[in-house]
Structure 1
Amino acid sequence: MYLQIIVFVITFFIMEFMAWFSHKYIMHGFLWNLHADHHKKDHDSWFERNDAFFIFYAVVSIGCFLLWQKGIFDLGIAVGLGIFTYGLAYFMVHDIFIHQRFKIFRNADNRYAKAVRRAHKIHHKHIGKEKGECFGMLVVPLKYFKK
């Protein structure tokens, strides 16, 4: 049981690195065509092509659950839940809190919330795929905590 909890926590934190890596090198790299609409202010739809990226991690998470259920991967439940929980946190912070796709969490007024918003605003300052910064989500560089 303790091993499952440790693997869950480690997986959650590894997902921050995975989010940074895939955002910097995949979304702003060879799959820019799927991510580009996220950096534009004029959308024809509530959905963006960028929303397709969650499918990859959802499939990996579900795959871990299935491998655990079949007795093939004992830690599959911990890994799958770690990926799922990070995805939920990412959705809550990125899509709901920052981009206000649902009008809740609008008045969060603490240092961390402000730092997350500042860092993401800097990221979106760059319209193209080059010269980007702040590719992570939950771990924010210290300079964004300052006024």
Structure 2
Amino acid sequence: MNTPLASLGIVLATVAGMEVFAWAAHRWIMHGWGWGWHRSHHEPAGGWFEKNDLYAAVFAGVAIVLIALGTSGRWPLQWVGAGMTLYGLLYFIVHDGLVHKRWPWRWVPRSGYLKRLYQAHRLHHAVHGREGCVSFGFLWAPAPERLKQRLQQVQRQRQQRRTPGG
């Protein structure tokens, strides 16, 4: 089964799997017990690097280990590591560059998939703090209209909790 087509399939399946993993990690780790590192991503930037970038370093380390194990005879781990690396590259370009403007270009998409992704991530950051956020994916995003409705629902629930007798 060690064929170029199988290897490509593993890389692409890993990229898709990484989006599912990243969504869950963002939702329950980064906005949960891992908030200490992720908080920097939800605050004004104080320099080129932020503490949240440590997550990328950890995932890159895992990918490097998988590639090393795979190239030393443990097929297909190198292709899983390659898929993780490709996902990291896409994240680096789209999330860090397009959405957060950590790159020199200042382009805002006006239509299509990239506009949807851009809007969804901006809505994720519309909430200050880690509670009540929407859209935890990095390369896939629900429709902005659904996210806006969810944000409004969360805001109403918070207001009701703060209002005595509400």
The TM-score, its normalising length taken from structure 1, stands at 0.90
5+ residue gaps, structure 1, are none
Secondary structure of the residue aligned to 2:130 is coil
Q: CA deviation at 1:124?
A: 0.2
Counterpart CA distance in 2 for 1:142 and 1:45 is 32
> Aligned residue pairs: how many?
143
Structure with greater Cα Rg: 2
1:16 aligns with 2:19: yes
- Which amino acid is 2:40 matched to? D
Counterpart position of 2:77:
76
1:30 aligns with 2:33: yes
What is the percentage of aligned positions where both structures have the same residue? 34
Q: CA deviation at 1:128?
A: 1.0
Q: Is the 8 A contact 1:118 1:144 kept in 2?
A: no
Counterpart CA distance in 2 for 1:10 and 1:105 is 31
Q: Which has the higher contact order (CA 8 A, sep 6+)?
A: 1
5+ residue gaps, structure 2, are 147-166
Q: Is the 8 A contact 1:115 1:144 kept in 2?
A: no
C-alpha distance after superposition, 1:16-36 (max 9, x if no partner): 011101111111000101111
Counterpart position of 1:97:
98
Q: Is the 8 A contact 1:116 1:144 kept in 2?
A: no
Q: Is the 8 A contact 1:27 1:34 kept in 2?
A: yes
Q: Which runs of 4+ in 1 moved over 2 A?
A: 107-110, 142-145
Counterpart CA distance in 2 for 1:90 and 1:111 is 18
Q: CA deviation at 1:70?
A: 1.3
TM-align CA RMSD = 1.6
Q: Is the 8 A contact 1:8 1:78 kept in 2?
A: yes
The TM-score, its normalising length taken from structure 2, stands at 0.81
Counterpart position of 1:62:
64
